[in-house]
Amino acid sequence: AQKVTQAQTEISVVEKEDVTLDCVYETRDTTYYLFWYKQPPSGELVFLIRRNSFDEQNEISGRYSWNFQKSTSSFNFTITASQVVDSAVYFCALSDSSGGSNYKLTFGKGTLLTVNP
């Protein structure tokens, strides 16, 4: 069975601080996919990134960066110079390689990030 653990239930930072959201996963599959989603207070789910298990390159997109380490089964997400608009619940998710683009996601419970001015 697949499992995603986001140990940090809530994080509170002051604007401009860097913050890292942790994600640890469990799977028996050798090919799998990892995702991060943002859920702002308005409630929609915003896709941030998808990563293949065979691509361990770290990725940076503006103030966002992701550190994928297969050796520790972790896929951590860092926001640099946080802003109030980053306040949201962030979900890490895992999908097996059922075939094609059939992503049946197993989600972590989410981390509520609050960025204070």
Partner 1 sequence: DAGITQSPRHKVTETGTPVTLRCHQTENHRYMYWYRQDPGHGLRLIHYSYGVKDTDKGEVSDGYSVSRSKTEDFLLTLESATSSQTSVYFCAISMTSGSYNEQFFGPGTRLTVL
**Phi, psi for 71 (deg, rounded to 5):** -60, -30
Q: Minimum CB separation from partner 1 for residue 19, in Å?
A: 20
Letter for the amino acid at 15? E
d(CA 117, CA 107): 30
Closer to partner 1 at the Cβ: 16 or 40?
40
Selection from 48, 49, 46, 54 nearest residue 97 by Cα: 54
Judged by CB under 8 A, how many residues of this single chain contact partner 1? 23
Q: Minimum CB separation from partner 1 for residue 86, in Å?
A: 19
Write out the binding residues for partner 1, residues 54-113 only, by CB under 8 A.
Answer: 91, 93, 95, 100-110
Element (H, E) at 83: none
Tokens of 46: 């915003």
Candidate list 47, 54, 61, 117; residue touching partner 1; CB under 8 A: 47
Candidate list 35, 66, 68, 75; residue touching partner 1; CB under 8 A: 35
**Are the C-beta atoms of residues 26 and 19 closer than 8 Å to each other?**
no
Closer to partner 1 at the Cβ: 3 or 16?
3
Element (H, E) at 44: none
Q: Minimum CB separation from partner 1 for residue 105, in Å?
A: 7
Q: Which residues contact partner 1 (rule: CB under 8 A)?
A: 4, 33, 35, 37, 43-45, 47, 50, 91, 93, 95, 100-110
